[in-house]
Amino acid sequence: MKAARLHAIDDFRIDKIEIPHPKGEEILVKVGACGICGSDIPRIFELGTSKQKYPLVIGHEFSGTVVAVGEKADQSLIGKRGAIFPCIPCRKCEMCLAGEYVMCEDYGYLGSRDDGGFAEYCLLPNAWHLVVSENENISDDAISMTEPCTVAQHAIRKGNVTAGQNVVIFGAGPIGIMAARWCKIFGAKPMLFDVVDEKVEFAIKRGEYVVNSVTNDVVETVKKFTGGRLADVVVEGTGVGSALGQCIEVCKSLGTIVLMGNPSRDTTITLKQHSMILRKELTLVGIWNSRYSDTPLNQWKCTVEMLDNGKMTVEDLITHRCTLEELPQLCKDIYERKITICKALYSSSK
């Protein structure tokens, strides 16, 4: 099979390798689509794989159809299609025992520590990793967006967003837009900010309320949007310090700020903003990935269900589809900022 493997930092290429053979509980999926995550770009060009294990098939946002299973796996899985939960928890540490799998102390991960989705096929440790979609009309490309869509869902849930609330989201990339869509599913009213005009216009065309935070006064905009009340919940989706400062300013007293964007340098806020956290008694909540435990609710299953029943839509956020052969170049173009993307993915149907 063809697989896009990282051989070293900045050495990402297509290889011909053996199709893995499922043993025991393992299941083999034919990859339908695999998204390029924001984290894949530094992984390829700057950081390498988390344990510097090479060569490695990267890509962790993927969908697939079961084509073969090991002798101990359920044979009826063959032909089932779904999203793949890439984290392989140890199931022994304190967090694993509490069902908090993404906080595992010693985990594997399809696409960053183990072979992932940028290939024709991928081996999953067992059926637990597959979240089956029941709707044949949903594309493989859409199902591959379950991971980022579930991160967005997790952020909105951690903000305790409920019906009638005003939610402000900083960052109108795919996860920001999907977070806005979760707000609507939960009955809240979202608006987004971004600093790039192209992204603002793209999101507006996709039906969202989006404003450029450089060319507009952020606090005035939010006051206008909320009838003077400011935001009940603010999602920081950029990882940039100045945006965190703005989150504090647009959050109303007793409100919540959800920190979702990964920071890439030290964060600085002003004295006035720092004081506001105290005076307004703001709650700051960090989020990491999403929740996969069935109790109290498996967020991945929820996302797939919402995609299946049409309440969540994601396909309109895909701006770039490529073949495996085209993938290394597309990643390079993203890294060199030659193109502006919303969601870019490897699609086996392209």
Residues near Zn ion (CB under 5 A): 37, 89-90, 93, 96, 104
Shortest distance, position 348 Cβ to Zn ion, whole Å: 19
Residue that the structure tokens 């969202």 belong to: 208
Distances from the Cα of 277 to the Cα of 169, 198, 253, 324, angstroms? 18, 32, 9, 47
Contacts of 71 (CB under 8 A, 6+ apart): 23, 24
Shortest distance, position 260 Cβ to Zn ion, whole Å: 12
Q: How far apart are CA 209 and CA 303, in angstroms?
A: 22
Q: Which is nearer to Zn ion, 262 or 349 (CB)?
A: 262
Q: Which is nearer to Zn ion, 93 or 284 (CB)?
A: 93
Q: How far apart are CA 160 and CA 125, in angstroms?
A: 34
Both structure tokens of 276: 């506001």
Q: Which is nearer to Zn ion, 37 or 233 (CB)?
A: 37
Shortest distance, position 194 Cβ to Zn ion, whole Å: 19
Q: Which is nearer to Zn ion, 69 or 104 (CB)?
A: 104
Shortest distance, position 60 Cβ to Zn ion, whole Å: 6
Rg (CA), the chain: 20
Residue 88's nearest CA partner among 70, 73, 74, 105 is 105
Which secondary-structure segment (H or E) carries 200? helix 197-205
Q: How far apart are CA 224 and CA 60, in angstroms?
A: 40
Q: Which is nearer to Zn ion, 78 or 93 (CB)?
A: 93
Q: Which is nearer to Zn ion, 104 or 247 (CB)?
A: 104
Amino acid at 251: C
Q: Which is nearer to Zn ion, 70 or 108 (CB)?
A: 108
Shortest distance, position 101 Cβ to Zn ion, whole Å: 7
Cβ proximity of 199 and 263 under 8 Å: no
Q: Which is nearer to Zn ion, 104 or 276 (CB)?
A: 104
Shortest distance, position 178 Cβ to Zn ion, whole Å: 12
* Other CB atoms within 10 A of residue 269 CB: 18
Shortest distance, position 117 Cβ to Zn ion, whole Å: 11
Shortest distance, position 67 Cβ to Zn ion, whole Å: 24
The full DSSP string for 255-309 is EEEEE-SPPSS-----HHHHHHHHHTT-EEEE--S----SSS--HHHHHHHHHHT
Amino acid at 129: H
